[in-house]
Amino acid sequence: MNAALRSYPSRGVLDRPRSRWADAAVFAAVTGLGAYIADATRDGDWPRILVGVLAMSAFVVGINRLFWRRLYALAQRRYSL
């Protein structure tokens, strides 16, 4: 594997979208938001689709700000070289 792909910044760029997508998927499964968006999409109800997507986006940003950012800062403080 190329050394640039194994470097920390490159790895972070690749992993961040994946973790946010996982957060959104968990939220959708737990709250039923995925079913809500699927029903709205099937019915072609754009206002409901927009509400569902905005709710999921707010959840992902909130989890990032409240949990992952703090955890990342803790790991930097604790395990920095």
Res 11: pLDDT:
52
In eight-state DSSP terms, residue 81 is -
Which pLDDT tens digit goes with each residue over 31-55?
A: 788 888 889 999 999 999 999 999 9
pLDDT higher than threshold 60 for residue 9: no
What integer is the mean pLDDT of 16-27? 65
Are the C-beta atoms of residues 28 and 55 closer than 8 Å to each other? Answer: no
**pTM beyond cutoff 0.75:** no
